[in-house]
Amino acid sequence: MRQAGHAAAKILGLVATHVRAGISTAEVDRVAADLIREHGCTSAFLGYRNYPANICVSLNDEVVHGIGRSSRIIRDGDIVKLDVGVYLNGWVGDNATTVPVGDIDPDTWRLLQATEDSLDAAISLARHNNSLRDLCGSVEKLVTRHGFTVVRQFVGHGVGRRLHEEPQVPNWADPSIRTKLKAGMILAIEPMINMGRGKTRVLADNWTAVTVDGRPSSHFEHTVLITQGDPEILTPRARLTSPLPLPS
């Protein structure tokens, strides 16, 4: 899992360096396909429930699961969510980030900061004998304080030999969650956070999720191992943003 995670993180970072104004999201997917192969991996998304692309490339109001298209051109001021999941030697690594292109709107930057903060908050609670519900609730608690909202249509997940394993990892304190975290569990923690309303819908391509109000959405994800001590991020990378101070 560590090897798969490190490969997924490296590929995500390399794909991110290719994102720039003027290229299409299909080109980003092609770059990713090459990198996945060059690292001895296969896409964990391609063919999953008939998903037709190698990674997810989602712009602005697209929340997750954007399919690369040659007609979808990246522009200055866009935010580009990249989600990369790979198999390596039968194990999955899954991670995502949001890439700002050129100068982005200051409120959108704060959205990215709050989302990255919420991922870190959740990871800090990924400890042996902690409650999964508290981990999940920490995401909503933090982003709500900044005036942002949590997407409820999609959740994080356990990950291992398969992309999606138990338990579900929602980004809110769902009362149905009873799981106690134990050393050895591996979670894909993935806050999906909206600037406006949390409501999302899926486009006619059956995959691309967009915000109903058309305002931007942000997504960061890590694969995280629970240990007897500190959580181990299996998909390590440097943070994009600095933490956003909480309003008083």
Q: Order across the sheet with 165-169: list the strands.
A: 165-169, 156-158, 186-189, 222-225, 232-233
Decide whether 188 or 244 has the Cβ nearer to Co ion.
188
Query: In this structure, what token pair is assigned to residue 72?
Result: 């979808």
Decide whether 146 or 223 has the Cβ nearer to Co ion.
223
Instruction: Kindly write out the interface string for residues 202-231 of this chain, putting x where it contacts Co ion by CB under 5 A and - elsewhere.
Output: ------------------------------
According to DSSP, the residues that pair with 88 across neighbouring strands are: 91
Residue 148 beta carbon to Co ion: minimum distance, rounded to whole angstroms: 20
Residue 61 beta carbon to Co ion: minimum distance, rounded to whole angstroms: 20
Decide whether 109 or 154 has the Cβ nearer to Co ion.
154
Radius of gyration of the chain (CA): 17
Residue 96 beta carbon to Co ion: minimum distance, rounded to whole angstroms: 7
Spatial separation of the C-alpha atoms in residues 98 and 67, rounded to whole Å: 15
Spatial separation of the C-alpha atoms in residues 126 and 223, rounded to whole Å: 11
Quick check: 111 binds Co ion (CB under 5 A)? no
* Residue 90 DSSP SS3: coil
- Residue with CB nearest Co ion? 188
Residue 170 beta carbon to Co ion: minimum distance, rounded to whole angstroms: 13
Instruction: Kindly write out the interface string for residues 65-104 of this chain, putting x where it contacts Co ion by CB under 5 A and - elsewhere.
Output: -----------------------------x----------
Query: In this structure, what token pair is assigned to residue 213?
Result: 């109000």
Decide whether 78 or 94 has the Cβ nearer to Co ion.
94
Q: Which of 197, 200, 216, 218 is nearest to 208 (CA)?
A: 200
Residue 102 beta carbon to Co ion: minimum distance, rounded to whole angstroms: 27
Which residue in 84, 181, 188, 192 binds Co ion (CB under 5 A)? 188
The footprint of Co ion on this chain (CB under 5 A) covers a number of residues equal to 2
User: Cα angle vertex 170, ends 167, 171, to 5°?
Assistant: 145
Spatial separation of the C-alpha atoms in residues 221 and 115, rounded to whole Å: 10
Decide whether 27 or 94 has the Cβ nearer to Co ion.
94
Decide whether 62 or 94 has the Cβ nearer to Co ion.
94
Quick check: 44 binds Co ion (CB under 5 A)? no
Stretch in the footprint of Co ion (CB under 5 A) among 35-43, 130-138, 167-175, 188-196:
188-196
Residue found by looking up tokens 């989602």 in the block? 58
Residue 157 beta carbon to Co ion: minimum distance, rounded to whole angstroms: 6
Residue found by looking up tokens 């995502």 in the block? 96
Burial class (CB in 10 A: 0-12, 13-18, 19+), 196: middle
Query: In this structure, what token pair is assigned to residue 14?
Result: 């390399």
Interacting residue ranges for Co ion, rule: CB under 5 A: 94, 188
